[in-house]
Chain A
Amino acid sequence: MNNTFDFSEFSRQSSKGIIVNYFIILYKSLKSSWVLIPILLTKDKTELNLTKILLAVFAILIYILIRAILIYLNFKFKIKDNAFILKQGILNKSNISVPFEKIQHINFKQNFIQQLIKVTQVEIETAGAKTVEISIKALSRESAVALKKALFAKKQETVIVENSEPKKELLHKITFSDLLKVSISENHFKSLMLLFAFIFSGYVQVKDFLETLELDDKFDTLLEENANSLIGDLLLMIFLFVFSFIISVLISFVTTFVRHFNLQVSLENNTLEIDQGLITKQNNIIKKQKVQSIEVLTNPIKEKLGIYNVIFRQAISGKINYKKLIKVVGFNKEHINVLKDVFFINTNFTNKEKHKPDTYYKVQLFFRSFLFLAFLNGVIILISTKLFFINVILAPLLIVLVLLKYEKSYYFFNKDMLVIGAGQIATKTTYLEHFKLQHIKLKQTFFQKKKDVVNMVIQTASGKIILPCVKTKKAIEMYNFMLYKSETSTKKWM
């Protein structure tokens, strides 16, 4: 290997890339076929003999190896005329060229295998009308850094002039106890949903396998024994409830630790650098200019503990990919204030005047919950009328949720930005600078027209932001002002 890192000629990634490719393909094929394994195991074993199975497995592994090598051999990249050029593809050859100014950001990533063999994955993300995403699976740390420098070389000329003494300061480093606090205060219902989604996705294929175990019969007898006693039913329900709660808390812990372990945020000029991850280490660099909007999330428990999660929304193309949102957990109030100072210099947040949506919003929300309840009752009639008692719990709950939602929604508008509060039990605050808007829309239903209110929909490069039920006059004022701001702004939105 050469140590000068000359990128002007086509070069391949580190030869360790074969190993990385190998495991990626293996992982993908296992992921798409894992449900077949238990079915295969329970099939009649007399038909298949061991040598045949081993031969098949061996053939598949060899095929994967050949594929990994071919992918490696056909993956070449270079830098020419201020553009990154990539050739790849075994049969479908593609030749991609990305000009430097189109590069959004460059991320380093290391999964478990990559950590073991000491290579870094470099991801180059672009934004524009057409998305190109480039992922170089295996580069040595030094060449990865060199590549990043080379790609940013042209851009930095303009940046460096502004600030000649870059100083990197650590803003936030998560401790073990902080991480514990974050996990315990997560929304455990979400984890439970995740669990259900995971179970149901595999359920259909695994059903046959479960039937062979005759679990159903055992479960039925267990149920029959308790069927006549109400206390038994109640105990079973409590048991299921507690059990699934414990499971979801565990899931919350695991997902939080895997994603945010060793989280570290540092600030340099107008750039945030974020490192996090347990199994897959992730390094993100967020430039102030690239951030479209910021969301600060908290909930009652988190608020008590003084914990805030922050999501940085960057420009995306195509559908929103939730993996791409950069989420930072466990900030405290001071960190948030520092972030506000860095990102929104001109805004004074101390005396912000909150505006509430029109009370018609409440009517709308009540009407929607009513429709939901009516639909649910329709379904209940089809199943069993005994389930009607659920209304006694659900109706007051929905009313409380609607009232909470109205209570929490507000907006704050000044000459530079818009702050929007939303949420029911959790609280979400979105910060958006006016000139980041892509297009803007006023929407009004027949009923809203009678009440003289409109919904304002602000489209940014990172998704929609909706302001519900604002008085028409006020909305038009904001509409005009935000357009004026984005049409006269000289700042780059990306």
Chain B
Amino acid sequence: MFENTEITSQLPDISQIEFKSIDKKYLIVLLFNFCIVAIILFVGLYFLISKNLEAHIPEYTSYLYVSVTFLLSIFLIFLVLGFYKKKYAVREKDISYKKGVLLQSITTVPFARIQHVELEEKPFSRLFKLASIKIFTAGESGGDLKVNGLPKQEAKKIKEFITHFINE
């Protein structure tokens, strides 16, 4: 007769495993990207004001600068806070990823369900020898799990580990 005793208490627990932080250098990459966006926004705003709005509403232009700065600084705070919340863990049979400041989430993908793994290197990240890992499962398209800011060696190791598992 088929038997199956309860083992709930002895199961590997997701809330007990130790999560690793992503590489500190990735924060520099994030800040660098942020600076580019901020510069583009300010330059665009400057031209918009000097060419067009100055003539119509001169008394409000300074408020525009203030509000854009305010929004960007809020964004920056969440960017930095969010960076420290991004953590990952690789277990023998699955990979987990944690993130989020106000909306926190934790995702786990069992290796047995992974269709393929991608290693992605963006130009800035490459300068710091960083890479992202993208994991695809069946079903909806798009990366199901993406871990940014891994040291390239680590990312390669994870990819090989998963590929080995899939092909077994």
Residues of chain A having any CB pair with chain B under 8 Å: 127-129, 315-320, 415, 437-446, 449, 459-464, 476-477, 479-481, 483-484, 486-487, 489, 493-494
Contact = CB atoms under 8 A, between A and B. Distances in A.
Given A317-B139, A440-B108, A480-B13, 17 more contacts: A129-B138, A315-B138, A438-B113, A442-B105, A443-B104, A444-B100, A459-B140, A459-B144, A461-B138, A463-B140, A477-B8, A480-B11, A483-B108, A483-B110, A484-B7, A486-B112, A487-B93
B110 A443 contact: no
B115 interface: yes
Contacts, number: 101
Interface of B: 4, 6-8, 11-15, 93-94, 100, 102-113, 115-116, 136-141, 144-145
Contacts of A476: 13-15
Given A127-B138, A315-B138, A459-B139, A445 B110 contact: no
Given A438-B137, A440-B108, A476-B14, A445 B102 contact: yes
Contacts of A481: 8, 11
A267 B13 CA distance: 41
Contacts of B139: 315-317, 438, 459-463
Contacts of B106: 441-442
Determine chain A's interface SS by DSSP, over half rule.
Answer: mixed
10 interchain residue pairs of minimum CB distance: A439-B109, A461-B138, A438-B137, A461-B139, A441-B107, A487-B93, A480-B11, A443-B105, A129-B115, A446-B102
Determine chain B's interface SS by DSSP, over half rule.
Answer: mixed
Nearest to A446: B102
Contact of B137 (A415, A439, A463): A439
A440 B137 CA distance: 11
A490 to B, nearest CB: 10
B108 A459 contact: no
Contact of B103 (A317, A318, A446, A461): A446
Contacts of B6: 415
B62 to A, nearest CB: 30
B138 to A, nearest CB: 4
Contacts of B112: 486-487, 489
A446 B14 CA distance: 20
A370 B31 CA distance: 38
B144 A480 contact: no
B155 to A, nearest CB: 19
A320 B141 CA distance: 10
A128 B115 contact: yes
A384 B141 CA distance: 44
A462 B141 CA distance: 11
Contact of A484 (B11, B15, B113, B115): B11
A463 B115 CA distance: 16
Nearest to B111: A487
B103 A486 contact: no
B116 to A, nearest CB: 6
13 contacts: A127-B138, A128-B115, A129-B115, A129-B136, A449-B104, A459-B137, A459-B139, A459-B140, A461-B137, A477-B8, A480-B8, A480-B11, A480-B12
Nearest to A441: B107
Contact of A128 (B14, B105, B138): B138
Given A480-B13, A486-B110, A438 B102 contact: no
Contact of B12 (A444, A446, A484, A494): A484
